[in-house]
Amino acid sequence: MAHISTDVRVLEYGGHAGEILQSYDLSSIDGLVTVSGDGTFFEIVNAIQKRAMLEANLDENDPECRVPPSNLRLGAIGAGTGNGVAVISTGVLNTDNGVTSNAIYISLGVSSLSMDTNHIFCNKKLVCRQLLMSGYGFYGDVFYDSEQARWAGTKRYIYAVLKNLIRHRTHETEISYLPHDSPEGGDWVTIQGRYKGILQFNFIFNPGNGREEFESSLQNGFMYIYCLKECSRWQHLLRWKRWIDSIRFKQGYTLHEPYEDLYIAKAFRIKAIGPDASLPINSRASFDGEFHQLEKSEFEVRVQRRSVKLFGVLHKDPPKDGTPV
């Protein structure tokens, strides 16, 4: 009905999408769409950007290298446990009609949404490419424990969160970041402290600010670093509840407590410090919901601005006075 020609490939194992894209003629297609969860979409982004850098003879392990621009549009029809990219690109939540709505928006193909990606480096090597978020400390430990309990299905995340709230581990950490408003060649800011966890987002979500501001944050070249400093178990639990409530009720999340900090940066580094810094337990991190045991207890995140183009919907919010658009 939409007169769209397709070449459908069924993925049979982890890494299969990357293998297909190593040799596929990308010039023969206008777009690439996954019917999957976020994991497969992230695998495709990694494969496409890796191939682009190889063909351009660029060193992917160099944090200063930029991904060559691409006009290939990517789309996500949410069909997995986590469907964040599908929600981000169209604004359609995971409802019964979400898959149909995603497919319709992609078929129409009338607009595109650019999105930043981040490249993660450790020990002078690229670890992965990331689109949504990175986690360290509490957020690395949660994904480590959930990985050990995959047999429990999605309930493993509840188990892992509760386990780490009870354990209440503190991480001695050095955070360095390049402020978002710093000039070219500006100085990095370095902070040392005791943290429960550190989260880095590629976007900032506050429903009260509207969809357009959210879309702008996806492609502005900045990252948002949330730091939870040392606090009591009770304070940590209350903060976690507020976080979950903000997602459930679409309220956005605002910082209320002295043990919470937020930094806006162009790049940042995390490094474990203290007598136990070199222990493997301090080398745990999560990138886009995937657990990584790093080679060293430190990593660096660099923004690749507008390096992914999505089939998307550019929303215009109605005027606040209710005037029809």
User: What pLDDT, in 10s, does the model give residues 163-184?
Assistant: 999 999 999 999 999 999 988 8
Tell me which of 111 and 323 has the higher pLDDT.
Answer: 111
Report the pLDDT averaged over residues 304-322. 65
150 & 274 share domain: yes
Q: By mean pLDDT, which of 89-98, 104-113, 186-195 is the weakest?
A: 89-98
Distance CA 205, CA 210 (A): 9
* Assigned domain for 6 exists: no
Residue 317 within a domain: no
Does 61 reside within a domain?
A: yes
**Helix, coil or strand: residue 61:** coil
- 235 and 154 in a single domain? The answer is yes
DSSP string, 90-153: H---SSTTHHHHHHHHHHH---EEEEEEEEEEETTEEEEEESSEEEEEHHHHHHHHHHHTGGGT
Selected residue with higher pLDDT from 293 and 204? 293
247-280 pLDDT, tens digit per residue, is: 665 666 667 788 999 999 999 999 999 999 999 9
pLDDT-based confidence at 238, cuts 50/70/90?
A: confident
Average pLDDT of the chain, as a whole number: 85
Separation of alpha carbons 123 and 119, rounded Å: 13
Residues in a beta bridge with 265: 179, 223
CATH number at residue 106: 3.40.50.10330
Average pLDDT for residues 73-98, to the nearest whole number?
Answer: 72
Highest mean pLDDT pick, 28-32, 108-112, 241-245: 28-32
pLDDT in tens, 132-164: 899 999 999 999 999 888 888 888 888 999 999
Q: Is residue 52 part of a domain?
A: yes
Q: How many domains does the chain have?
A: 2
Statement to judge: residues 168 and 294 lie in one domain: yes
Active site residues: 38
Both 235 and 173 in a single domain? yes
pLDDT digits (tens, 9 = 90+) for 185-205: 889 999 999 999 999 988 876
| pTM of the predicted protein model | 0.86
pLDDT of residue 322: 34
Rounded to an integer, what distance in angstroms lies between the CA atom of residue 215 and that of residue 220?
9
How far is 70 from 130, CA to CA, in rounded Å? 17
Is 314 contained in some domain? no
Quick one: tokens of 288? 């886009």
Give yes or no: residues 101 and 141 share one domain: no
Burial (CB count <10 Å: 0-12, 13-18, 19+), residue 237: middle
Q: Is residue 77 part of a domain?
A: yes
109 and 123 housed in the same domain: no
pLDDT at 317: 44
The last residue of one of the domains, among 117, 132, 163, is: 117
Q: How far apart are CA 115 and CA 49, in angstroms?
A: 13
Domain containing 126 — which CATH number?
2.60.200.40
Does residue 187 sit in the same domain as residue 261? yes
Arithmetic mean of pLDDT, 204-218 = 67
Range of the domain at 210: 119-306
